[in-house]
Chain A
């Protein structure tokens, strides 16, 4: 048991250093590690946990909480969440006071500009991969496309409405 907790901590702490673009950008890697490499759960459970996390409030990083919980209970949830948040929080704490001094330095701008396209690629990868593992049928793909259109047309719309709509469509057997 404690072996699993250590593994969870190490995996997520390592991932936290790579999470440019938020937790959504990390989903493919989390999926790769959790499902294919460690065999902690199957595709169906992973997608279900993702959906459950969508229905909850809070930072996107909480999908990791659920993954940890599924693997090793409440202790797993705590360990995974801490692993994901703690390392960079400590780094940020110490960097915060020096940040302004480097503002506008060419290397700083370069990294900022350079990382941006990668986060975008990661976000598209996440969407694609979650869609594939969820095994969306024609109804599901239609719901996904409709969500994209609604989101882009009405950027102020609260996502909870869309999530509730998705649950309803599913319940009606349309997805």
Chain B
């Protein structure tokens, strides 16, 4: 999910933003993104917003996405809120989110209905078992990629391990784990950032 922002931005895409984006355009644009996104919608969202419609420049996209990743909640839904509200206010935000979710919502319920009708069949269970195995692989490879992008591993890798042990091994509630570990890791990060800034100031003063 995070690496969608990594590839260098196409140079032509930073041109002027189209003056008006209608509610209909927001709905259909985000519908297309939602319905084409399998196993992660973010790359499709970037392609639509930055390269095809040019509703955001590459820099704006990174900045808005930074906000969406900084706060909890589904990143792509948060992204739709930002883009929708930018062009059409509160109504635009609602329409963009609905566009993103309604199509996939219907599709996933239809699949769920098929599952409830045929889920007992041996062949269906076998297929779902195969899909689960692949799904686990997709999640773990996402983890590996995120781990590769983690900076200052010596400092922050222990927090990865602690989170894993607390959740996957000890099965502690997420509220507790996030409350304690996010506070600790943010304090560590804050101190390191302040120290780096102080060192920078001292370096400039000398």
Where the two chains meet, the residues of A that have a C-beta atom closer than 8 Å to any C-beta of B are 14-20, 22-24, 26-29, 32, 47-62, 65-66, 69-70, 74, 77, 81, 84-85, 87-89, 91-93, 95-96, 99-100, 103, 106-131, 134, 136, 139-141, 143-148, 151-152, 155, 158-160, 162-163, 165-171, 173-175
Within 8 Å CB of A162, what residues of B?
134, 137-138
Among candidates A24, A27, A134, A158, residue contacting B133 with C-beta atoms closer than 8 Å: A134
Interfacial residues of chain B within 115-131, with CB under 8 A of chain A in the complex: 115, 119, 123, 125-131
In the assembled complex, 5 residue pairs joining A and B whose CB atoms fall closer than 8 Å, in A order, are A60-B40, A110-B190, A130-B136, A134-B136, A160-B38
Of the 9-residue stretches B19-27, B49-57, B180-188, which lies at the interface with chain A?
B180-188
Contact yes or no, A18 B72, CB < 8 A: yes
Chain A facing B: main interface SS: helix
Give the complex CA separation of A141 and B136 in angstroms. Answer: 9
User: A52, B39: Cβ atoms under 8 Å?
Assistant: no
Contacts of A120 in B (CB 8 A): 143, 146-147, 150, 160, 163
Q: A165 to B90, alpha carbons, bound, how many Å?
A: 42
By a CB distance below 8 angstroms, the chain B residues around A15 are 174
- Other than the given A48-B125, A58-B104, A59-B100, 15 more pairs (CB < 8 A) read A23-B74, A29-B173, A48-B119, A52-B112, A54-B131, A57-B36, A66-B109, A77-B105, A88-B71, A88-B73, A107-B190, A109-B189, A109-B193, A152-B141, A160-B38
Least CB distance, B52 to chain A, in whole angstroms? 18
Contact A32 B171 (CB under 8 A): yes
Closest B residue to A132 by CB, please name it. B168
Assess whether A89 is in contact with B174, with CB atoms less than 8 Å apart: no
Q: A20-B178, A89-B97, A127-B143 in contact; A147/B137 too (CB < 8 A)?
A: yes
The answer, yes or no, to whether B95 is at the interface (CB within 8 Å) is: no
Measured between C-beta atoms, what is the minimum distance from A38 to chain B in Å? 13
Bound-state CA distance A22–B103 (Å) is 20
Shortest distance from the beta carbon of B2 to any chain A beta carbon, whole Å: 9
| Structural contact, B112 and A70, CB atoms closer than 8 A | yes
Residue numbers in A under 8 Å from B34 (CB-CB)? 57-59
Measured CB to CB, the closest approach of chain B to A62, in angstroms, equals: 5
| A85 to B104 alpha-carbon distance, docked (Å) | 14
CB-CB under 8 A for A24 and B111, given A19-B72, A95-B67, A140-B129? no
Chain B residues contacting A47 (CB-CB under 8 Å) are 128, 132
5 smallest CB-CB distances across A and B, nearest first, come from A58-B104, A170-B130, A147-B137, A121-B163, A88-B73
